[in-house]
Amino acid sequence: AQKITQTQPGMFVQEKEAVTLDCTYDTSDQSYGLFWYKQPSSGEMIFLIYQGSYDEQNATEGRYSLNFQKARKSANLVISASQLGDSAMYFCAMSHQYNFNKFYFGSGTKLNVKP
C-alpha cells in the first residue's frame, strides 16, 4: 500500500513566486517523522526539512517551510521566493520512529522554475 502520495508529477512556478508541493501520507502510528528531499538534475539527494509528528509548530528552514496538517495527514512543502536553482525533483518521505524503522519515499514532484 502506498504510504506517501505526491499527486503532482510536475509543476511550473515563476521565479520569485511561492510554490506548494503536496504530500499526503498514510500511517496508523502515533510517532513518525516527515521529510522533504531535493534531487537536482545532477542526481544527488539533498535533505531540506524535517517535521516530527509531535512537533506543534510547522518546521521552517530558510525559504522552505512544511505545512503540517496532522488530521488531514498532509505535509506540504512551501518554497517561498522561488529561484532558478530550485528546479529539481522533490521527494516527500516518512519514517516510523519506533516501529523499526521503515522509511518510505513518495514518487516525487518535478519542479520547474521559469525566469
CB of 16 to other proteins, least distance (A): 27
92 pairs with which residues across the strands?
36
Point out which residues bind other proteins (CB under 8 A): 31-33, 35, 37, 39, 43-47, 50, 52, 89, 91, 95-105, 107-108
Chain centre to alpha carbon of residue 101: 19
Chain centre to alpha carbon of residue 8: 12
CB of 28 to other proteins, least distance (A): 16
| Residue closer to other proteins (CB basis): 58 or 95 | 95
**What are φ and ψ of residue 10, in 5° steps?**
-150, 145
| Residue closer to other proteins (CB basis): 14 or 112 | 112
| Residue closer to other proteins (CB basis): 43 or 115 | 43
| Residue closer to other proteins (CB basis): 46 or 84 | 46
Q: Tell me how many helices (H) and strands (E) the chain has.
A: 0, 12
Q: Which DSSP category does 82 fall into?
A: -
